[in-house]
Structures are given as structure tokens and as C-alpha cells.
Amino acid sequence: MKTYILLLRGVMPTGKNRVPMALLRQVLSDAGFQQVRTWIQSGNVVLRSDLTARELELRVHQLIKEQIGPELAIVVRTGNELRQMIDNNPFQGEEHPIGRVFFVSFQERPPDEKVQALLAQDFSSEKLLIDGMSAYMFIPQAYSDSKLSNNFLERKLGVAATTRNFNTITKMIAWAEEE
């Protein structure tokens, strides 16, 4: 069995994308996944499975849709993959406080031509770098006031994505390494 980190796209504490974490843990445990843990109400899961990452994305998507309701994109990574994402962060140093850096995980690799077109845009004081299955956004002001967002990247690139901050990513890595 392998330890995976599942990042659920668009989970909210209330509304149409509400996924109660206790119920999610129960659904995933009942489906045979091992050592299921969730963190905060926004869809962060660590579990053990024999499935491949892609099989796990599809299976968890199906389970949530059938047993909880929302239709959500699921992005699956290993702790090592997320650690590599953190290590490859291009926005470091005093000029880029880590609390203003956002880490994006794509469900699939975005098309190169769409990536190049997006990176050719000027985002003023905001910065964007896309590296394969990951993207990094430096947003010096409030995230809610930013042109860059998860929804913006999904629209421009045509792939499902989910965004987390440094604290959430490092917490998920630590949990994955405990297993």
C-alpha cells in the first residue's frame, strides 16, 4: 500500500460543495482505504491505498458524488511530490513572503500552448510560474483581490486544479510521512 494525499477541489464548509470531513472519512474507510485522515474543512485527506494515483482520483470522485453529493475534482499526490513542489518554489526570500505564495496542483498537465499564452500575460505585482503539473502564484495583496486565482487558471488552461497555501501543504506532507 502507498500513502497518498488527496486535495479535493472546491470543498466549502457550507453550500453545494459541502463535504463533512467525518462523513468523508467514513465513506473512504468503508470503501477499503486505510488510515484515512482529514485536515480542516476544505478537503485535505491522507490515506493508504493499493490503487494508482489516477485510479484513486476516479474512485474517490465517484464515492463522493454517489454518497455525499458534490461533484468535485480530486487531485492526488504523494508526500514526495508535494515536497518537490515546495522545494521548487521559485518565489522565495524577503521579497516573496511564504504566506503570499500559493501552490497549485493540476489534475493533468496543461497544454504547452495554453501555458505559454498565459505566462505571456502581465499580472502587474502578481507573479505566476507553471512547471508541469504544478503552478506557483505570488499574490502580494489579498487573494480575493487578485486577478490570479484557481478558477482563472482552470479557465485559461482547461484543466482541473486546486490551490493550497504553504501551511496546508507542509501539514499534509508531515502527515504522509507519519504513515
pLDDT tens digits, 97-139 = 999 999 999 999 999 999 999 999 999 999 999 999 999 999 9
CATH of domain 80-165: 3.30.70
Query: Cβ of 84: how many Cβ atoms within 10 Å?
Result: 13
pLDDT in tens, 54-94: 999 999 999 999 999 999 999 999 999 999 999 999 999 99
* Per-domain boundaries in the chain: 2-77, 80-165
The confidence score (pLDDT) of residue 179 equals 58
Q: Which residues contact 146 (CB under 8 A, 6 or more apart)?
A: 126, 137, 139
pTM, two decimal places: 0.94
- CATH architecture observed for domain 2-77: 2-Layer Sandwich (3.30)
Q: Is the pLDDT of residue 17 over 80?
A: yes
Query: Cβ of 85: how many Cβ atoms within 10 Å?
Result: 22
Q: Is 80-165 the same fold as 2-77?
A: yes
Distance CA 119, CA 116 (A): 5
Q: Is the pLDDT of residue 37 over 70?
A: yes
- In degrees, to the nearest 5, what angle opens at C-alpha 167 toward C-alphas 23 and 125? 120
Phi-psi region of 158 (alpha: psi -120 to 50; beta: other; left: phi over 0): left
Nearest to 179 by CA among 79, 82, 97: 79
32-38 long-range contacts (CB < 8 A, ≥24 apart) are 34/1, 35/3, 35/179, 37/175
